[in-house]
């Protein structure tokens, strides 16, 4: 459907991410919720995977377990061959800063910083980022998302789509092994959303990035090579581009049809437990905002 090129990101074909038998339960006894129930997912390097499913099916939990923002109750998560489930909190924080790029629905830019400073933030958190070369690198990253002339603007001076493109430049600047996108277009109008999705697609096709994206939007999912459907904490179906997506709206319609058929199971999801309990994402202190975006925000704010 969209132009693709085969690549392995220059890493010799080893998968970017392998999740095996991953389970995640929250709460105890009658309050127990099984958010993930034996998930197996392999992301080849240089691939773009969308995750869809009814509300409560485990999409965010999957994303958070994939990048060490949440700890699985069981199973294995390997990023670039490294087992995340055995790492301590500091090692996980470092791994996320250095090897994962994040794009969230809410952009998560720091309001006091300019676009260029926001983009440079991951380099600064890694202990560098202050030199002229790094500033030039940040401006270059902004240019690649079409915002080279807005380097000095602060988030409040940018539109939603522009802010998301700054967030994308920030996610890409460290050349991460995995880009984790949680509803990246959820707050954008359709035309702006398509622009951001095309940039994500380009990062896969031209830089060999690996993208894992949660979305509710069938059109957004058509930018991926394949779509994983979750229901009740399991991957219940996969639609792949192999053989070719149908052109234009047809692919989105097919994905939407699968979503509708899964929606019947959503009621079961709602019955899988009460709302969130005290257990928050790993490494996030009390009072931190909930969810992956909140966990990331608390990390970059330190
Ligand atoms: N910290 C938590 N404490 C208790 N239950 C949780 C927690 N986080 C998630 N859950 C439960 O786990 C299940 C899966 O949640 P998750 O957020 O992964 O679903 P989702 O598919 O991302 O949903 P949505 O599309 O509504 O964002 C839900 O039943 C949810 O209530």
Q: pLDDT tens digits, residue range 156-200? A: 999 999 999 999 999 999 899 999 999 999 888 888 899 889 999
Q: What is the Å distance from ligand 1's center to 56 Cα?
A: 5
Name the residue at shortest CA distance from atom 30 of ligand 1.
56
Q: What is the Å distance from ligand 1's center to 111 Cα?
A: 28
Does 100 have pLDDT greater than 60? yes
Q: What is the Å distance from ligand 1's center to 250 Cα?
A: 30
d(CA 252, CA 218) in angstroms, rounded, equals 5
Strand partners, 104: 182
CB within 8 Å of 70: residues ≥ 6 apart? 24, 61, 64, 281, 282
Q: Does 279 contact ligand 1 (Cβ within 6 A)?
A: yes
Q: Does 19 contact ligand 1 (Cβ within 6 A)?
A: no
Res 7: pLDDT: 47
Strand partners, 25: 34
Res 298: pLDDT: 60
Place of tokens 């031209």: 206
CB within 8 Å of 207: residues ≥ 6 apart? 9, 172, 175
Rounded to 5°, angle at Cα 77 from 74 and 79: 165
The pair of three-digit structure tokens given for residue 246, joined into one six-digit string: 């149908």
Judge whether 78 and 246 are in contact, CB under 8 Å: no
Place of tokens 């959303």: 193
Q: Does 277 contact ligand 1 (Cβ within 6 A)?
A: yes
| Percentage of residues in the chain having pLDDT higher than 90 | 60
Res 52: pLDDT: 96
- pTM, to two decimals: 0.85
d(CA 297, CA 257) in angstroms, rounded, equals 35
Closest CA relative to residue 113, chosen from 170, 160, 174: 170
Closest approach atom of ligand 1 to CA 273? 29
Candidate of 28, 58, 289 to mutate for ligand 1, largest count of ligand atoms within 8 Å of Cβ? 58
Res 84: pLDDT: 97
Name the residue at shortest CA distance from atom 3 of ligand 1.
276
So what CATH class is 17-106+178-185+203-300?
alpha beta
Q: Does 228 contact ligand 1 (Cβ within 6 A)?
A: no
Closest CA relative to residue 173, chosen from 101, 251, 74: 101
For residue 130, name the pLDDT band (cuts at 50, 70, 90). Answer: confident
Calculate the alpha carbon distances from 299 to 102, 110, 134, 226, 282 in Å.
12, 12, 21, 30, 12
Q: Does 60 contact ligand 1 (Cβ within 6 A)?
A: yes
What's the pLDDT tens digit per position in 194-224? 988 999 999 999 988 999 999 999 999 999 9
Closest approach atom of ligand 1 to CA 216? 25
Backbone region of residue 291 per phi and psi (left: phi > 0; alpha: psi in -120 to 50; beta: other values) = left
Q: What is the Å distance from ligand 1's center to 3 Cα?
A: 34
Q: Does 35 contact ligand 1 (Cβ within 6 A)?
A: yes
List the domain boundaries for the chain. 17-106+178-185+203-300
Q: What's the order of all strands across the beta sheet hosting 17-26?
A: 33-43, 17-26, 74-79, 82-83
What's the pLDDT tens digit per position in 1-29? 454 544 444 445 689 999 999 999 999 88
Q: What is the Å distance from ligand 1's center to 71 Cα?
A: 14
Closest approach atom of ligand 1 to CA 270? 29
Higher pLDDT, residue 30 or 248: 30
Name the residue at shortest CA distance from atom 16 of ligand 1.
58
For residue 293, name the pLDDT band (cuts at 50, 70, 90). Answer: low
d(CA 20, CA 247) in angstroms, rounded, equals 33
């Amino acid at each position: 459907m969209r132009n693709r090129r085969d690549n392995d990101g220059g890493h010799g074909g080893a998968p970017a991410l392998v999740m095996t038998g991953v389970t995640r339960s929250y709460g105890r006894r009658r309050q127990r919720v099984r958010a993930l129930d034996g998930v197996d997912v392999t992301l080849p390097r240089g691939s773009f995977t969308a995750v869809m499913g009814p509300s409560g099916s485990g999409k965010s939990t999957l994303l958070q377990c994939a990048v060490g923002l949440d700890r699985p109750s069981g199973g294995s998560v390997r990023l670039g061959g490294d087992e995340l489930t055995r790492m301590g909190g500091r090692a996980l924080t470092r791994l996320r800063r250095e090897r994962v790029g994040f794009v969230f629905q809410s952009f998560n830019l720091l309001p006091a910083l300019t676009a260029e400073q926001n983009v440079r933030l991951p380099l600064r958190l890694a202990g560098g980022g202050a030199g002229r070369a790094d500033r030039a690198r940040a401006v270059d990253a902004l240019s690649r998302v079409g915002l080279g002339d807005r380097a000095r603007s602060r988030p409040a001076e940018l539109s939603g789509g522009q802010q998301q493109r700054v967030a994308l430049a920030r996610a890409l600047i460290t050349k991460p092994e995995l880009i984790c996108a949680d509803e990246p277009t959820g707050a954008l109008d359709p035309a702006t959303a398509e622009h951001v999705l095309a940039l994500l697609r380009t990062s896969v096709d031209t830089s060999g990035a690996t993208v894992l994206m949660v979305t509710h939007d069938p059109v957004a999912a058509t930018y991926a090579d394949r779509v994983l459907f979750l229901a009740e904490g399991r991957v219940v179906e996969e639609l792949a581009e192999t053989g070719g997506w149908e052109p234009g709206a047809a692919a989105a319609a097919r994905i939407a049809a699968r979503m509708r058929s899964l929606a019947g199971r959503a009621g079961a999801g709602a019955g899988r437990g009460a709302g969130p309990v005290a257990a928050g994402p790993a490494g996030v202190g009390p009072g931190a905002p909930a969810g992956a975006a909140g966990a990331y925000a608390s990390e970059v704010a330190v």
